[in-house]
């Protein structure tokens, strides 16, 4: 039986409708969640991501502002702007779109954002809180993946979850969230020997390597749940994931498509984090 497709677009839209109601209620009580997005330079991909975030905020009634800085901006100037937004009580979420030009050290920017406004969930305090099971603003892509699994009541406890990729924003944190749900987690990465030995035993496979179509049905166990995080731009301009969708869906039980899979969930969880931050629930 071919796999069931988990559409991040559909789930994201359902969640956004619920969020809109919540934001309306918050507004009625005098609180308008506000997101500040800072973009440096004119990287077209970054611009397109930022536009998507702005549009999505609008659909749920979150107010947002985009501050554009030239690629020549200094680290000091950017830190100054973050400090100003940290102090501004009307700003609930601050997001600095990555990557940044080379004169700016990303790690210095990430730690400068008030953890209570860190809606990307990248601050080491939020990562530490997540790892120790405390309330935290969670990184959006991993949070979206767990939400997708839960939306279908996919069992996680006791299952073998294999994560391909160990980046700070996707691979590492998604493994931690799966561990917190009592999965047995294996991390694979670019230095992993005999990758298929691991993927073949995965009940849940998270592919987050950024390598187009690297996973197909030969890598999978019958009935595996396959979450494709990869976004790879092909020569013809189309987008494809890390998973060969047509092949994998013959053997998987559930699978996420690319596009319209994890991507829309990432933005949805950003909105959720902004609402959480406005309510002051995380890091309280």
Q: Which residues are known to be catalytic?
A: 53, 97, 120
Closest to ligand NAD by CB, 64 or 266: 266
Supply the DSSP string of 210-227, one letter for each residue: --TT-B-GGG--TT-EEE
Q: How many residues lie near ligand NAD (CB under 6 A)?
A: 25
- SS3 state of residue 30: coil
* 239 touches ligand NAD by CB under 6 A: no
Alpha carbon of 209 to those of 135, 169, 175, 189, 190: distances in Å?
Answer: 28, 12, 14, 8, 8
**Residue 15: CB partners within 8 Å, gap ≥ 6?**
147, 268, 272
Which of 208, 226, 227, 248: binder of ligand NAD (CB under 6 A)? 208
DSSP letter, residue 257:
-
Closest to ligand NAD by CB, 115 or 263: 263
Per DSSP, helices labelled H in 63-113 are 75-87, 106-112
Q: How many CB atoms neighbour CB 246 within 10 A?
A: 11
* 101 touches ligand NAD by CB under 6 A: no
* 43 touches ligand NAD by CB under 6 A: no
* 167 touches ligand NAD by CB under 6 A: yes
* 240 touches ligand NAD by CB under 6 A: no
Distance CA 22, CA 276 (A): 11
* 93 touches ligand NAD by CB under 6 A: no
Which of 9, 211, 221, 279: binder of ligand NAD (CB under 6 A)? 211
* 229 touches ligand NAD by CB under 6 A: yes
Contact in structure between 127 and 174 (CB atoms under 8 Å) = no
Q: Which stretch binds ligand NAD (CB under 6 A): 22-30, 113-121, 151-159, 184-192?
A: 184-192
State the minimum distance, in angstroms, from the CB of residue 280 to ligand NAD. 26
Distance CA 127, CA 142 (A): 12
* 121 touches ligand NAD by CB under 6 A: no
List residues binding ligand NAD (CB under 6 A): 141, 164-167, 169-171, 188-190, 192, 195, 208-211, 214, 229-232, 262-263, 266
């Amino acid at each position: 039986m071919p796999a069931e497709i988990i559409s991040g677009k559909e789930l994201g839209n359902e969640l956004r409708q619920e969020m809109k109601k919540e934001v309306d209620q918050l507004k009625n009580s005098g609180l308008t969640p506000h997101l500040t997005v800072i973009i440096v330079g004119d990287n077209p991909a970054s611009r397109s991501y930022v536009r998507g975030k702005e549009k999505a905020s609008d659909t749920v009634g979150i107010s947002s502002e985009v501050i554009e800085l030239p690629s020549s901006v200094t680290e000091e100037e950017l830190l100054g702007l973050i400090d100003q937004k940290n102090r501004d009580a009307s700003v609930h979420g601050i997001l600095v779109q990555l990557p940044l030009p080379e004169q700016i050290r990303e790690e210095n920017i990430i730690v400068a954002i008030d953890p209570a406004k860190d809606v990307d969930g990248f601050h080491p305090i939020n990562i530490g809180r997540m790892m120790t099971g405390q309330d935290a603003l969670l990184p959006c892509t991993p949070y979206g993946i767990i939400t997708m699994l839960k939306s279908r009541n996919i069992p996680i406890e006791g299952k073998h979850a294999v994560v391909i990729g160990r980046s700070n924003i996707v691979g590492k944190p998604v493994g931690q969230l799966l561990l917190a749900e009592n999965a047995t987690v294996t991390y694979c990465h670019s230095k992993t020997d005999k990758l298929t030995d691991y993927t073949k035993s995965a009940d849940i496979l998270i592919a987050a390597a950024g390598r187009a179509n690297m996973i197909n049905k030969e890598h999978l166990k019958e009935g595996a749940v396959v979450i494709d995080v990869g976004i790879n731009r092909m020569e013809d301009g189309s987008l494809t994931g890390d998973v060969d969708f047509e092949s994998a869906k013959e053997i998987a039980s559930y699978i996420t498509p690319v596009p319209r899979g994890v991507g829309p969930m990432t933005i949805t969880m950003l909105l959720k984090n902004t609402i959480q931050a406005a309510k002051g629930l995380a890091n309280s």
